[in-house]
Amino acid sequence: MKILAILGEGGHTKEMVALIDQLGDGIEYAYLVVRDDEVSASKIRVPGPVYRVQRPRDKKHMLLLDIWKTLLCGVQSARALVSFRPTAIITAGPSVAVPGCIVARCLGIRVIFVETGSRVTALSMTGRLVYPWAHLFFVQWPELASRYPKAVYAGRLF
């Protein structure tokens, strides 16, 4: 099995690294990281290729620029997916996951989304955008599972 893990800054990477540690042996990993995020890349403990993509949006939120960056991120994500050919992608919710998940779904690759543990009563923006595209959508709080029929409550994963 081959999995492409999408990492994001801070807690998103911490959650993904912890989840990968729990998944065990027999899986080949690759990672999708925004190109200016050296911290996330340094946290990877299970080796695999690292694909760098454009950050889809930044703190300034200039609409036209964000749209352009998101499209570029989607193209770069597609290149990574075609190059690595994963069985599935998995992410814990950074914004870079949105174009990656949509492209993966369009390419017939399974999409696994784990809503970050900090979201107790409402989905994150990324969670709301990825929800219709995900094959498996995990939440870590029962309050969220009751509000989203497709969500799977699996307890605290991290």
Task: List, in order, residues 6 or more apart from 127 with CB less than 8 Å away.
Answer: 93, 113, 115, 116, 119, 137
Domain count, the chain: 1
Which pLDDT score is estimated for 158? 64
Q: Is the pLDDT of residue 106 over 90?
A: yes
Listed as own residue / partner, the contacts of 131-135 with beta carbons closer than 8 Å and 24 or more positions apart are 133/101, 133/102, 133/105, 134/101, 135/88, 135/105, 135/110, 135/111
Which pLDDT score is estimated for 32? 96
Q: Could you read off the pLDDT of 113-153 as tens digits, one per residue?
A: 998 777 777 888 899 999 999 999 999 888 888 888 899 99
**136 belongs to a structural domain:** no
**28 belongs to a structural domain:** yes
What CATH number has the domain bearing residue 82?
3.40.50.2000
Which pLDDT score is estimated for 29? 96
* Structural domain that includes position 34: 2-112
Phi, psi of 102 (to 5 degrees): -65, -45
- Average pLDDT on 19-45 reads 89
Listed as own residue / partner, the contacts of 145-151 with beta carbons closer than 8 Å and 24 or more positions apart are 147/122, 148/123, 151/115
**154 belongs to a structural domain:** no
Pairing mode, strands 28-34 and 2-6 = parallel
**120 belongs to a structural domain:** no
Q: Residue 100 is which amino acid?
A: G
Q: Could you read off the pLDDT of 91-101 as tens digits, one per residue?
A: 987 889 999 99
**107 belongs to a structural domain:** yes
